[in-house]
């Protein structure tokens, strides 16, 4: 999936984690160099959220003073637990990387509606965009 | 009650089965002619009710079951989620101070549905969701 970022960013590291559900699965792709990109595929619900949270928070901790991109382009479902993961990421980046941002790519209107329902877009460190290129230029500027 | 029962599903009380509930809601919603946006709202609201039931309404964990019923009528669609535990008000309340990132389930249900009711009984708690069409 992260092949879509080829030519757009340097990828010093890249790995993939698969969490199996009952029949479906959630895949997390992490890559980056100047800043981490976390790309998620699948449905983020109460079952998967704790596992995702652990990886998102450890990525932020391991990338001090860097903004991060969370790509939800391949996420078809997000519930309150998934939003909770993003709020935890916002809290952590405020503490561990002052002045840096969580840049979230979300072209899916249904998922965007869920995000906006709780007002996460009003957090100054949370930047919401529909496009990868825009997310990268925003992150490089942070 | 002039609503007609379209279908029902009973899942073991485990988060692994939330995807079954979403599939069930999607299939039932299509039978009742809901559009994509309405289906999504209903999947999230029912998912939140089931997640609450699994977390707070299942004293014996996976030995308990959560039952979901889908009704369709002139006034829209109704989804009931029934667990086998005792209703805990605290678990359903919206955490308005923003310090904790859990407990938004009820806020989501209220925002996405036209009506939400919660009824505690001796045998469990029933959450009823109503979406007008």
ipTM of the complex: 0.88
For the whole model, what pTM was predicted? 0.89
Q: Nearest-CA distance from B42 to chain A in Å? A: 11
Residue B11's beta-bridge partner residues? B66
Best of A50, A57, A81 to mutate (most B CBs within 10 Å, chain B)? A81
Q: Nearest-CA distance from B45 to chain A in Å? A: 9
Residues 6+ apart with CB under 8 A from A116: none
Rg (CA), chain B: 14
pLDDT in tens, A40-50: 999 999 999 99
Q: Which is higher by pLDDT, B125 or B56?
A: B125
* Average pLDDT over every residue of A134-140: 89
* Average pLDDT over every residue of B108-121: 94
Q: Which is higher by pLDDT, B90 or A4?
A: A4
Bin B7: left if φ > 0, else alpha if -120 < ψ < 50, else beta.
Answer: beta
- C-beta atoms of A79 and B48 within 8 A: yes
Residue A75 half-sphere exposure toward CB, CA atoms < 13 A: 30
Closest residue by Cα to residue A84 from A128, A52, A127, A43: A52
Residue B1 confidence (pLDDT): 57
pLDDT-derived band at B94 (thresholds 50, 70, 90) equals very low
Residue A72 confidence (pLDDT): 97
Q: Which residue of B has its CA nearest to A79?
A: B44
Indicate the length of chain A as a whole number: 142
**Does the pLDDT at position A116 exceed 50?**
yes
* Cβ atoms within 10 Å, residue A39: 23
Q: Contact, A59 vs A91, CB < 8 A?
A: no
Q: Among A77, A80, A113, select the one facing B104 at the smallest CB separation.
A: A80
Which residues of chain B neighbour A80 with C-beta distances below 8 Å? 48, 51, 102, 104-105, 107-108
Residue A8 half-sphere exposure toward CB, CA atoms < 13 A: 20
Query: What does the alpha-carbon distance between residue B58 and residue B78 come to, in Å, rounded to a whole number?
Result: 23
pLDDT in tens, B47-73: 999 999 998 877 787 788 999 999 999
User: Would you give the distance in Å from CA B32 to the centre of its chain?
Assistant: 17
Residue A76 confidence (pLDDT): 96
Query: What does the alpha-carbon distance between residue A80 and residue B108 come to, in Å, rounded to a whole number?
Result: 7
């Amino acid at each position: 999936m992260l092949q879509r970022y080829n030519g757009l960013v340097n990828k010093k590291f890249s790995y993939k984690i698969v969490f199996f559900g009952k029949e479906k699965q959630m895949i997390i792709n992490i890559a980056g160099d100047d800043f981490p990109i976390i790309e998620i595929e699948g449905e983020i619900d109460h079952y998967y959220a704790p596992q995702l949270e652990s990886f998102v928070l450890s990525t932020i901790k391991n990338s001090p003073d860097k903004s991060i991109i969370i790509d939800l382009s391949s996420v078809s479902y997000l519930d309150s637990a998934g939003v909770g993961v993003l709020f935890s990421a916002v809290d952590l980046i405020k503490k561990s990387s002052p002045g840096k941002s969580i840049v979230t790519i979300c072209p899916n209107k249904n998922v965007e509606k869920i995000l906006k329902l709780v007002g996460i877009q009003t957090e100054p460190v949370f930047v919401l965009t529909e496009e990868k290129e825009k997310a990268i230029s925003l992150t490089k500027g942070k | 009650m002039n609503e007609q029962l379209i279908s029902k599903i009973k899942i073991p009380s485990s988060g692994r089965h939330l995807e079954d509930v979403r599939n069930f809601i999607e299939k039932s919603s299509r039978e009742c002619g809901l559009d994509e946006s309405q289906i999504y709202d209903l999947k999230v609201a029912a998912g939140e009710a089931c997640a609450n039931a699994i977390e707070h309404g299942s004293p014996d964990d996976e030995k308990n079951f959560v039952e979901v019923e889908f009704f369709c009528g002139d006034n829209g669609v109704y989804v009931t989620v029934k667990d086998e535990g005792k209703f805990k008000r605290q678990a359903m309340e919206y955490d308005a101070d923003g310090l904790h990132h859990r407990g938004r389930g009820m806020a989501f249900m209220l925002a996405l549905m036209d009506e939400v009711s919660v009824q505690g009984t001796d045998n469990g708690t029933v959450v009823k969701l109503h979406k007008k069409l």
